[in-house]
Amino acid sequence: MNMDFNFLMNDVVRQAREEITAAGYTQLQTPEEVEEAFAKKGTTLVMINSVCGCAGGIARPAAAHSIHNDKRPDHLVTVFAGQDKEATAKARSYFVGYPPSSPSFALLKDGELCTMVERHEIEGHDPMSVVQKLQEAFDKYCEEV
């Protein structure tokens, strides 16, 4: 049996995209979309998506569940590392002081970085501990809805 690797990866990427958009996140696939989204007033949670196991098993579930909180971001967006490379590079240009990592989360307020949850805070942790980190950031920087 001979599997086409690209066919398999396309399916993995499609599923990863569907999981995060089903949770209410808007995909940003170009640098222009990133600039437009980050220019919005209020708080924006950015999920830097990837195809790795910790993205599927920890980060995307945490992204979906963390937003069930009294205080939560005004905007939910995602860029896909390794897939939408220019959009991801543009998003990362806002994360001054943090090395590129995926999966990860960035919380911005009026286009300025407030905090990040980096890969080392996701990989090897359970989804609920990541939910807790995100909700702590929401409680600090977001308004009640």
Helix (H) or strand (E) holding 49: strand 43-49
- Give the tokens for residue 131: 């939910």
Catalytic residues: 52, 54
Which of 55, 44, 46 minimizes the C-alpha distance to 19?
55
Q: What is the DSSP letter of 101?
A: -
Asked whether 43 and 106 are in contact (CB, 8 A), the reply is no
Q: Can you name the residues that pair with 79 across neighbouring β-strands?
A: 48
Q: Can you name the residues that pair with 144 across neighbouring β-strands?
A: 71
Asked whether 34 and 28 are in contact (CB, 8 A), the reply is yes
Query: CA angle at residue 5 from 14 to 26, to 5 degrees?
Result: 15
Tell me the three state secondary structure of residue 80: strand
